[in-house]
């Protein structure tokens, strides 16, 4: 079945293709789509950049489509500094994790909202952790932060490790990479003022994402490393 005409989209990544075209990865409510943009050096090429809300008509029934029409659909989101690095991180995460042509309209909406929040200068870490968590959950990889793998409530004084394919397991001996119950319950409530909650959430999301990234590091993470 043909893709809907004139659907909203964002460019995740673009690279040169043949003489004057570009191969573009788009995020749409219908999922991640890859398409060839002809005459990429013209007006359309100036739109084929990240963080610009677009309306795009895709043509073709195969996995590699063609861009039939592409127009601006709103005000571009201007990101600078670490907010820009964060946006690039979101894009790489979507390219790596989102299956091609698998509709996830909630992911699209949350992505658009996160870009606006980044542009407004809101604190980065809560935005990134929220996006990672919602992406995992929407893809079916989520797990409970209030109960463990045995459906017992998370105990504030408990220690837990993540079993990626199952959830949180309570342990009674100290070992690397554990999470305490207070941190987990703060994450569940998105209470980022709780001591240690944000740093624990970053560790938890890295553990949860690692298996789905196939062991290959994210290039955009290097942008956050201080010289």
Residue of 40 and 63 predicted with greater confidence: 63
Query: Mean pLDDT throughout 149-157?
Result: 97
Closest listed residue to residue 182, CA positions, set 155, 164, 161 = 155
Highest mean pLDDT among 34-43, 70-79, 182-191, 214-223 belongs to 182-191
What pLDDT is stored for residue 61 in this prediction?
A: 79
Query: Mean pLDDT throughout 188-216?
Result: 92
With H, G, I as helix, E, B as strand and everything else as coil, classify residue 205.
Answer: helix
Q: What is the pTM of this model?
A: 0.89
Residue of 77 and 23 predicted with greater confidence: 23
What pLDDT is stored for residue 2 in this prediction?
A: 46
Query: Mean pLDDT throughout 209-220?
Result: 83
Using alpha carbons only, give the angle 7, 66, 11 rounded to the nearest 5 degrees.
Answer: 55
Indicate the average pLDDT of the chain: 89
Query: Mean pLDDT throughout 36-41?
Result: 77
Residues 23 and 17: their CA atoms lie apart, in Å, by 6
């Amino acid at each position: 079945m043909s893709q809907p005409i004139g659907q909203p989209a964002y460019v995740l990544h673009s690279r040169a293709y043949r003489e004057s075209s570009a191969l573009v990865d788009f995020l749409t409510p219908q999922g991640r789509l890859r398409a060839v943009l002809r005459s990429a050096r013209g007006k359309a090429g100036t739109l084929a950049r990240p963080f610009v809300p677009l309306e795009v008509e895709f043509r073709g029934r195969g996995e590699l489509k063609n861009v039939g029409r592409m127009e601006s659909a709103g005000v571009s989101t201007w990101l600078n500094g670490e907010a820009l690095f964060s946006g690039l991180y979101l894009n790489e995460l979507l390219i790596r994790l989102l299956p091609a042509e698998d509709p996830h309209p909630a992911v699209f909406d949350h992505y658009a909202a996160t870009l606006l929040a980044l542009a407004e200068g809101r604190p980065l870490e809560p935005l990134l952790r929220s996006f990672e968590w919602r992406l995992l959950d929407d893809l079916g990889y989520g797990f409970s932060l209030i109960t463990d793998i045995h459906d017992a409530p998370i105990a504030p004084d408990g220690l837990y490790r993540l079993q990626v394919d199952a959830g949180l397991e309570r342990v009674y001996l100290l070992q690397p990479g554990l999470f305490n119950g207070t941190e987990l319950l703060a994450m569940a409530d998105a209470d980022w003022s709780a001591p240690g909650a944000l740093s624990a959430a970053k560790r938890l999301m890295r553990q949860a994402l690692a298996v789905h990234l196939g062991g290959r590091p994210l290039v955009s993470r290097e942008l956050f490393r201080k010289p």
